[in-house]
Amino acid sequence: MKIGDIALGDFPLLLAPMEDVSDPPFRFVCKQNGADLMYTEFISSEGLIRDAAKSVQKLDIFEYERPIGIQIFGAEIDSMVEATKIATQVNPDLIDINYGCPVKKVTCKGAGAGILTNPVKMMAMTKAIVEATHLPVTVKTRLGWDESTKNIVDVAERLQDVGIQALSIHGRTRVQLYKGEADWTLIGEVKNNPRMKIPIFGNGDIDSPQKALEYKNRYGVDGIMIGRASIGHPWIFREIKHFVATGEVLDGPTIEERVEACNTHFEKSIAWKGERVGLVEMRRHYANYFKGLTHFKDFRMKLVQTESISEVYQILNSIAKEYQDFVF
């Protein structure tokens, strides 16, 4: 399966772009565990063209991450075109357009999923972005704005017609946010539409190898994009790959593997963000890496309260020793 000239294997697993999550340190541990294609956090087009430090930093990509896409969002076509040109200069493997973010502060400006109410503008913006770069352009979107506007089958055809080379679909409307169960029925309809020639990736609620294989077989998608289920559990990529290939369930990560991944994530966070920011922003991840451990609260409190980098490593080593016989 290919996006343009990017070969991704028979059934690729994609790491979804997630704000404040899918930064280079997190992407590193996901790549280690088998993610086939990853994306940056979504980057504001307005921030890029104004050279805002936070937006520019999100352009950082590394050779070991390839293939990797830079995802941009915005409400103005001219700004999105200019942002595309800036992102192209960083030499990612593709440019991805965010038409799916449901957050109010994004949608109220007509960006992210906000553009779902204006398909004409969506097509004009997409066409302009495709023409602004030599890289493959892909899109991530939702089924529609609400239950009465689930027009993704038509939208997918039109996006393909203006030149995108792959489409990822989250199985919820904007109004649903992340509530309720993702509906993959329309994702399957898009994939099985004889007019569609580009890869179609499904997204939403894939949290186990069994569900991944079930949805692969039921809906025929070319690959799966995984978001929240990878937070604190980057091993989900290797687990799904093993199950799809063999039908066997891999044992879950040991406490040593959890500590090692957390150590690596922390080390990369310090290196990329600087000591202070890296230390503070890593605090949101500890509980996820050690979900399921009994009586873990004291360790978690120590991890989120310490101001010492060396102490974080000491605490993590103590966790490995304390729970060496723990069975998840």
Contact of 87 with 72, CB cutoff 8 Å:
yes
Give the Cα separation of 303 and 259 in Å (integer): 13
What residue ranges do the domains of the chain occupy? 2-246, 255-322
Q: At the topology level of CATH, where does 2-246 sit? A: TIM Barrel (3.20.20)
Fold agreement between 2-246 and 255-322: no
108 is catalytic: no
Q: What's the CA dihedral at 312, 33, 209, 165 to 10 degrees?
A: 120
Per-residue pLDDT of the chain (328 residues; tens, 9 = 90+): 899 999 999 999 999 999 999 999 999 999 999 999 999 999 999 999 999 999 999 999 999 999 999 999 999 999 999 999 999 999 999 999 999 999 999 999 999 999 999 999 999 999 999 999 999 999 999 999 998 899 999 999 999 999 999 999 999 999 998 888 999 999 999 999 999 999 999 999 999 999 999 999 999 999 999 999 999 999 999 999 999 999 999 999 999 999 999 999 999 999 999 999 999 999 999 999 999 899 999 999 999 999 999 999 999 999 999 999 887 7
Q: At the topology level of CATH, where does 255-322 sit? A: 1.10.1200
Report the DSSP beta bridge partners of residue 167: 139, 200
* Residue with tokens 């307005």, as numbered in its chain: 46
Give the Cα separation of 294 and 86 in Å (integer): 48
Closest alpha carbon to 83 in 93, 96, 100: 96
Contact of 35 with 15, CB cutoff 8 Å:
yes
ω into residue 209 within 30 of 0, thus cis?
A: no
| Residue ranges in the chain assigned as alpha helix (H) | 24-32, 45-49, 53-57, 77-89, 104-107, 119-132, 152-161, 185-191, 209-219, 236-246, 255-273, 275-281, 286-289, 297-305, 309-322
Q: Which member of 30, 101, 108, 262 is catalytic?
A: 101
Contact of 165 with 136, CB cutoff 8 Å:
yes
Closest alpha carbon to 250 in 214, 206, 217, 209: 209
Give the Cα separation of 31 and 15 in Å (integer): 9
Contact of 30 with 38, CB cutoff 8 Å:
yes
Give the Cα separation of 194 and 190 in Å (integer): 9
